[in-house]
Amino acid sequence: DSGVTQTPKHLITATGQRVTLRCSPRSGDLSVYWYQQSLDQGLQFLIQYYNGEERAKGNILERFSAQQFPDLHSELNLSSLELGDSALYFCASSSSGETEAFFGQGTRLTVV
């Protein structure tokens, strides 16, 4: 158990819908990262927050957004969902950019 909790574990939704994925980082970790892993692609970095502020942005679509709340949990919002958004979404946390990041078990999103 990495200490990073992601909910829900599985999510099935229809095209055009909006979903919210939640991540609770390890206790004390200030940095949260979101990744997407599709079947045909590797782990793609989406976005990083550090102590509530956005710090780095990767290949995140405009339909996707994220935030980190004062209690340090983070949410990834995916809207206008398309079939191609079906993927595993992982959250990771670290205490700083120099310490190791620990990953949650992911949310498997299926868009039908």
Partner 1 sequence: DAKTTQPPSMDCAEGRAANLPCNHSTISGNEYVYWYRQIHSQGPQYIIHGLKNNETNEMASLIITEDRKSSTLILPHATLRDTAVYYCIVRVGLGAGGTSYGKLTFGQGTILTVHP
Residues that bind partner 1 (CB under 8 A): 2, 4, 31, 33, 35, 37, 42-45, 48, 50, 55-56, 58, 88, 90, 92, 94, 96-98, 100-106
Beta carbon nearer to partner 1, 58 or 84: 58
Beta carbon nearer to partner 1, 79 or 105: 105
Handedness of CA 37, 60, 104, 13 (dihedral sign): negative
Structural contact between residues 50 and 30, judged by C-beta atoms closer than 8 angstroms: yes
Beta carbon nearer to partner 1, 71 or 98: 98
In which element (H, E) is residue 10 found? strand 10-13
Kindly state the smallest distance separating residue 81's Cβ from partner 1, in Å: 20
